[in-house]
Amino acid sequence: MNPSNLLEEAFLAQKKAQSKYSNFSVGCAILTDDNKIIHGCNIESAAYPSTMCAERVAIYSAISQGITNFKSIAVVSPLGAKPCGPCRQIIHEYLGDIPIYICQDKSKDFETHYIKDLLPYPFG
């Protein structure tokens, strides 16, 4: 699957985001080694620390299904934001150094990053 198609899947996930406090909707799509797509969206809570990022929703969903091998991950948001620190750590631990495609809403342009560049000094 090419990056543009995976980003389209992330845009579909973004539409399901529950971001009533920040109005910052994020969508994520992970491509597994067997070409399955796992979606995630951010889910906010009035108890802010309970909020969950789209990347971790998708990763935890995959792990809960017994999926542990991945090809790439796509993340879309209003500003084309990179994953937060906790998400970077989880990507490092569970996805490894796979391509991370980042795209801003409604843009056809995207950036490709690797976790070793986004998190040069991971914990553990």
CATH of the domain at 109: 3.40.140.10
- Tell me the mean pLDDT in the region 25-43: 99
Worst-scoring range by mean pLDDT, 5-14, 24-33, 92-101, 105-114?
105-114
What is the residue range of 34's domain? 3-118
Percent of the chain residues past pLDDT 70, beyond the cut:
100
pLDDT at 106 over 80: no
Mean pLDDT of 7-26: 98
Domain count for the chain: 1
Strand 110-113: give its sheet, edge to edge: 37-41, 27-32, 70-77, 100-104, 110-113
pTM here is 0.96
- Active site (catalytic) residues: 55
Give the C-alpha separation, 31 to 35, whole Å.
6
Q: How far is CA 112 from CA 4, 43, 83, in A?
A: 11, 25, 12
Alpha-helical runs (H) found in the chain: 3-14, 54-64, 85-94, 115-118
What's the whole-number average pLDDT of the chain? 97
124 domain-assigned: no
Provide the residue type at 75 as one letter. V
The pLDDT, as a whole number, for residue 107 is 82
Q: What are phi and psi of 116, to 5 degrees?
A: -65, -25
Residue 101 domain flag: yes
Mean pLDDT of 35-41: 99
How far apart, in whole angstroms, are the C-alpha atoms of residue 19 and residue 73?
Answer: 21
